[in-house]
Structure formats: structure tokens, C-alpha cells
Amino acid sequence: MMTGHSLEDVGKTLSWSALGAFLRHPEIDGEIAKELDPDLASWGCTLKTNAILADIYDILAMINANICAMGSGKRAKKPQGYKRPGDRDKQKIGKNALPAEELRAWLKRKQTKKPEL
């Protein structure tokens, strides 16, 4: 918690008991907690919590799809995973791909072309 105080304020605008409370009860992801117990502080990280929640969402979606497909005799359709930061749109990958024969011809032209000096 940012209080806007510095150590110079202790005894003036910040009481000694308030300083003691800050030191005895640090925030889980605060700088004091990171210094005292870095492993525990890393568990309080919002990013890690969000990643775990997204994984749980994906697992529950797969379980739900399996339950829905159980009585139909069909295979469960894989549900779309929870969108995470940095995920690329899978629809864009491979769209308008070059046919293999054209790719081979293009590579052959590149290999036989002599570099200009």
C-alpha cells in the first residue's frame, strides 16, 4: 500500500505504531513481502492468478464439451480456449498459404540466383 510517507515522516506525520503495522502486515505482492519471502510473494502475483484461472476455465470448458457429447455418440468438439494476452488469432495463420509446388519453385529460383556483388 502506498501511503505517501517516507522514513523521514516517522515520529512526525507517521506514528511509530503505524510503521510497525506496515512492517508486520505487508501486502502479499509488496516490496517488503518480496524481500522477506520472495517465493510466497510470487504466489500473490495477479499475472500468475490470472493464468491459473484461464487454465481452470479451459479445463472446465473441455469437461463440459465431453459431457454434452457423451450421449450423442459423437466426439466432443474441442472448445475454444480462454483468450490470453499475446495469443495470436489462429484463423490468420495459414490463410492464403502458397501451394507447395509454387513454394518449391520459388525456393529453387532463390537458390540458383547468384548474389550480386
- Tell me the mean pLDDT per 10 residues along the chain, length 117: 75 86 74 76 75 93 91 85 75 66 85 69
Tell me the C-alpha distance between 48 and 93, whole Å: 28
Per-residue pLDDT at 112: 80
Report residue 30 CA to chain centroid gap. 20
Q: Which pLDDT does position 59 carry in this prediction?
A: 95
Distances (CA, A) of 59 to 64, 72, 86, 113: 9, 21, 20, 51
pTM here is 0.45
What pLDDT is recorded for position 12?
86
In a domain, 35, yes or no: yes
* Domain span including residue 55: 45-84
Distance CA 64, CA 21 (A): 47
- Whether 57 and 68 share a structural domain: yes
Same domain as 78, residue 49: yes
Are 50 and 40 in the same domain? no
